[in-house]
Amino acid sequence: MGRAYVQKRITHCRRNSSLLEIQLPPTPSRHRRSNEMHGQPRRPKQPEDDAAAAAKAAKLRELQVQVLHNHHTCTYTEEALGLSFKLLEINPEAYTAWNYRKLALQHNLKELSDPEAIKSSVDAELRVVELALRQNPKSYGAWYHRKWLLNQKLAPVDFKREYGLLDKLLKVDARNFHGWNYRRFLAKFMGVPEEKELQYTMDKISENFSNYSAWHNRSILLSNLLIQRSEGFESKEKIFSEEFELVIQALFTDPGDQSGWFYHLWLLAQTSTPDNPQLISSWPSNGAKLSLFPTRKNGDQNMVSSPSSICCYSLKEGIIPIVLYFNDPVKGLNPSNVKLNSDFVFDKDLQWRPLVITDSGYSNCWATYLEIRNKDCSTSQQFSVEVSIPCSDDIMSRSGSHCNCPVHFTFTVELGNNNDEAHDIDLFHDPISWSSSESFQSHGKPSCVAFDQLNITSALVQEESRWNLDRLSDEIDLFRDLPDENSKFAKLTLARLLLACAAIKSRGSSLIERKGYCEEALGFFSDLINLDPSHKRYYEDERSLVLMDQLTCDMETFMKYCSVQVRSNSATLNHVQLCRLSLTRIGFTERMLWVQMLDLSHNKLRSIEGLEALQQLVCLNISNNQISSFTSLEPLTKIVSLKALDLSFNEIGAHPIDTTRYMCSSPFSHKVERCEAFVECRKKSVNVEEFWDAILFFKSVNLVQLDIKGNAVADKDSFVTVVTTLSPSLKWLDGTCIH
């Protein structure tokens, strides 16, 4: 749309706040916000507060002892219940007291048969919850107890009273997410139409557009209504266009308030992603040819693989990984909906497992492993494997949408003869030397195709995305004219809008325009790093993802970083080198599933999350980065082919507290398990508590070469003992042969 129209919309948003028939109130001043929490004034601390706190703590300890005693002895008398009530009145977060009251209520109700007496007991328990909520309106235990009471269906529920309680609560604190959560529970419990609840969110936003909880609840309700295609919600384009108009009023009225920006981010994600999950990459790719080892030709000692086949090192282990990568986390993959057909008989039934587990078992990346027996390699042979995924309601994304894009691809596997000398090749006869060019010879471009060959419904996606692209383009023009040029929210939203447009363009042929979007987004992230240093790491991670997208988005660009490396023993590896790019995060690994040798040295990586998708990876160099613990290396334990790992000059062991455990998506468990690895280390006088994460890591990988120098952990006593004890196949440690 034209510039004049955009300017007209801006003026309209500023002067007329009734675009969708709501009146937006002025927001509190910045000074007032600094002294309030969700609109509630903070009382300055008084000298007598310390004495009162000490007395309260003493009483609390005494009550806790008494309640625990009654809990252990199953004492459910009226006096005992009174003590638990006193404890909860002081500390509503005493979970044991709530559990005790659950057991007490169930026990005492067994002796009652009169419905009125049962109702009286339930009402009394509800009043206990109300009194606890007066003390702490955000008590998890109290709200859970109230839900539990209603779910027991012991007596008729007075919903008028329940909604009255919520109205009082939300008048005091309109952003109490516990109250909103309970309202969703009540609405579902009563079968209240979601359209009616959607109007309630509109009423609350009309009262105060800074109500983040109302915006959040609105996003949940809209998602459900759109998935169900309820009456009036059939058109995603119409609904989201109206929602964009609504939230823009809030953003232009007060650009400094976060609530509207978060809702705008949700709208952006919904607008820029396909409605249904789609397979975007696979290993092996369609038409790929895998070989156990290159074949000698006429006695020639140089056994270089032909351009049409990929030397698959993991085949030497008798394993062929198959990787499926979806654009959105999905669950439900199993042998019945992902079918494998082959003229070769494999040892075991194939099971699909997620490589990166998100919430509730959803994952972008799934893998299975074909196992080949030694006797199957007694003669040279070739067989094909066919993978097909029909439309399936079982494969479902987090939004509830199903996989409705059927996929079919085939690859070929060539097995060598066990009697062939080629099988005796030792890839690690000499240590891998990443800095020396003498160990490798470049043979031009890789022998594999780096990008998705599946071409899944690309025409359909482009057709559906036209309105999305128009909508996002309008938003970009609008936010460019936001009055506050230094608004971090505006810059971040502009960057996200640009990247969303780039993602849609990636499904078409507008590569130049797509790169332009990415370049501008990089500029915004650079500005944000300087403008908002407190969130520097987040902006650096986002910048890294954009840079990874740029480097890998097309073959011509990516080929500058790729080569086929040939070892002196003639084994070939597909090599990618992404060094000195200031990367803090790895992204778009779905484009690198074929990589066997990856150099990420001299960056700023703090995590390697995402590399677990590279099931063909044999050699990895992440030296000279900022890896702080073995916990952050957990993704590597899922790569069956990994043999060489360079961790030198990182920060492993330099930090006394491993905060990575809480930041990684699937960290190691911080507990000393009773497993063989710990037993072995204890036998050699290793302090298991000190090296728990190293033990869990090295017991899960099968390395031949490890470089660890330059890390604090390498200087600790017993560390080498841990490595050598748990890595019997290890041949090279920091360049020295240990066997």
pLDDT 10s digits, 63-102: 899 999 999 999 999 999 999 999 998 889 999 999 999 9
pLDDT tops 90 at residue 46:
no
pLDDT tops 50 at residue 462:
no
pLDDT interval class at 272 (50, 70, 90):
confident
CATH number at residue 713: 3.80.10.10
Q: Mark whether 586 and 536 lie in a shared domain.
A: no
Q: Of 129, 713, 624, 612, nearest to 366 (Cα)?
A: 612
158: phi then psi, degrees, rounded to nearest 5: -85, 90
Beta bridge partners of 732: 705, 737
pLDDT tops 60 at residue 295:
no
List, for residues 487-532, the tens digit of each pLDDT value: 788 899 999 999 988 887 765 456 778 888 899 999 999 999 999 9
Q: Mark whether 727 and 620 lie in a shared domain.
A: yes
User: What average pLDDT does the structure give for the chain?
Assistant: 81
| CB atoms inside a 10 Å sphere around CB 385 | 21
Q: How would DSSP label each residue in 573-590?
A: EEEEE--SS--SS---GG
Residue 685 is part of which domain span? 578-737
Number of domains within the chain: 3
pLDDT tops 90 at residue 217:
yes
The sign of the CA dihedral 582, 529, 260, 18 is negative
Q: Mark whether 286 and 414 lie in a shared domain.
A: yes
Q: Mark whether 497 and 583 lie in a shared domain.
A: no
Q: Mark whether 540 and 635 lie in a shared domain.
A: no
Residue with tokens 């959607």: 198
In-domain check, residue 726:
yes
pLDDT interval class at 305 (50, 70, 90):
very low
pLDDT interval class at 455 (50, 70, 90):
very low
Q: Which segment of 154-163, 435-444, 556-565 scores lowest on mean pLDDT?
A: 435-444
Q: Mark whether 394 and 537 lie in a shared domain.
A: no
Residue with tokens 């998708």: 613
Question: What distance in Å separates the CA atoms of residue 521 and residue 627, rounded to the nearest whole number?
Answer: 27
CATH number at residue 476: 1.25.40
Residues in the chain: 739
Q: Mark whether 593 and 714 lie in a shared domain.
A: yes
Quick one: pLDDT at residue 712? 94
Maximal CA-CA distance, the chain: 96
pLDDT interval class at 483 (50, 70, 90):
low
Mean pLDDT of the region 645-661: 83
Q: Mark whether 533 and 590 lie in a shared domain.
A: no
Q: Mark whether 585 and 696 lie in a shared domain.
A: yes
Q: Mark whether 365 and 492 lie in a shared domain.
A: no
In-domain check, residue 183:
no
| CB atoms inside a 10 Å sphere around CB 608 | 21
pLDDT tops 90 at residue 608:
yes
Model confidence, pTM = 0.80
Quick one: pLDDT at residue 439? 38
Quick one: pLDDT at residue 636? 95
In-domain check, residue 45:
no
Six token digits for residue 344:
């070769």
In-domain check, residue 324:
yes
Q: Mark whether 587 and 541 lie in a shared domain.
A: no
Q: How would DSSP label each residue in 28-55?
A: PPHHHHHTEETTEEPPPP-TTHHHHHHH
CATH number at residue 399: 2.60.40
Q: Mark whether 589 and 674 lie in a shared domain.
A: yes
The H or E element that residue 662 is part of is helix 660-663
In-domain check, residue 149:
no
